[in-house]
Structure 1
Amino acid sequence: MVVTKYDKLSKTMEIGHVIDETWWANSYTSEALIATVNFLFKPTDVQKIEDFHDITNNRS
């Protein structure tokens, strides 16, 4: 997980991630995303976090 964009004015962060298809459908990304969101909301004044997924991964 990585913060790819931070807008101080709107207090919005965009996060991104890449995981090899081999590891899809194992809940690794879900677990990492939950931990990342919790981490970013607690010590910051961020009010919105955006994340996008690969549309070719039907399980996203």
Structure 2
Amino acid sequence: MTSMPDKDELGGGLNYYFFGHNLKLQGDYFRSFTPGALNTGADLLRLGSRRRCDRRGDHE
């Protein structure tokens, strides 16, 4: 038994690479809701980017 409420989640994400694989733009979206009540819930939208490190590892 847990004190956490029962929740469902629906979502997905996309990645797009620029300049080969040197720069990545990523995003995802999720909707958390009570089972059977998709119209009432919370939304989460995240965006981010990442630059590829060189072999020396001094960039992240």
**TM-score scaled to structure 1, two decimals?**
0.29
RCO higher in structure (CA 8 A, sep ≥6):
1
**Greater strand percent: which structure?**
2
Q: Answer with 1 or 2: which has the greater Rg.
A: 2
Q: Which has the higher helix share?
A: 1
TM-score, structure 2 as length reference: 0.29
